[in-house]
Amino acid sequence: MIALRSMVLAAALLAASPGIVPEGLDPARVALSLLFGTIVGFSLGLTGGGGSIFAVPLLVYGLGVVPNEAVGVSLAAVGATALFGCLHRLRAGEVEVGTGLIFAGAGMVGAPIGSWIGAKLPGTLLLLLFSGLMLVVAARMWRKATTSPDESRAIRARTGPLPSGEPGPTCRRDPSGRLTLSTPCAVLLSGVGLITGILSGLFGVGGGFVIVPALVFFSGMGVHRAVATSLLVIALIGASGVFSSLAAGRPLAIDLTVRFVLGGLLGMGLGTRVGRRLSGPKLQKLFAVAILLVAVYVVARSLSGA
């Protein structure tokens, strides 16, 4: 059903946007931007964060967009696509709104900081730092899915009484699985959200590759629920990142962004359906492999000077 809704919405937006294909623009470039947007939407629906990781390399190496300009397009396109996916999953009751808002609130503060830092860095250095971050995240996700598969399947936060003298985890859940929001837990989630926002503004990503594992590892959330909640965070942080990017004087190609969003809506529905058929460990391993491949490619292209 979500796939059909995505297609209908994309068609409606296409009909309402006659300027999506500016006169004189190469049709092949238009087709590529729609295809790349679909890939981004598919991975975003599948993992909650892969879309943002794929967006910048596709824009830079597939469409020839300058790295610093690709940041704004990526944030806008990924944020808009995530918003659509979030609304659907919100109706399905899969999003933990409270936890997501804590992350997003702190992230929206961090995004302008990251945007300011990114504006000072050369494009090649920005891409190399980006790929380094991807390698770290991929390695950690693969290790967790391999050595602790149960942590990828379901809520893992302790729900029973603590043994005497044991401090327990910072964030805990009640027997029904609802997060018990203590002050230390709120501080921890806000801190991770702030770091996520800085990374989002710096690299032009929604931050889902940080948000999803952070929700699983720190709040005890199951990976499928973490993917759904991350879409809310990505949408809000993306909006903050776009604003800070524009404030920093970075141009935003509206027509390219719209095409990316249209493709993203088509891919989002399919990615969501496929993701629900995969177990938590398989989903995390798939996510880790995708991140690793993109990171290796970015490093190779950056070092070769291509």
CB-CB neighbours of 306 under 10 Å: 7
pLDDT at residue 150 is higher than 70: no
Spatial distance between the Cα atoms of 246 and 243, rounded to a whole number of angstroms: 5
Give me the pLDDT at residue 35, please: 92
Range from 3-17, 145-159, 210-224 carrying the lowest mean pLDDT: 3-17
Matching residue, tokens 């000077």: 305
E strands, the chain, in order:
172-173, 179-180
Contact (Cβ atoms closer than 8 angstroms) between residue 181 and residue 167: no
Spatial distance between the Cα atoms of 240 and 111, rounded to a whole number of angstroms: 6
User: What digits encode the pLDDT tens for the residues 201-242?
Assistant: 787 666 666 787 778 777 778 777 887 888 898 888 888 878
User: What digits encode the pLDDT tens for the residues 109-142?
Assistant: 988 888 888 778 887 888 888 788 778 778 877 8
List the end-to-end C-alpha distance of the chain, in Å, as a whole number: 42
User: What digits encode the pLDDT tens for the residues 66-89?
Assistant: 887 887 888 888 888 888 888 888
pLDDT at residue 158 is higher than 70: no
Of 55, 255, 77, 4, residue with least CA distance to 12: 4
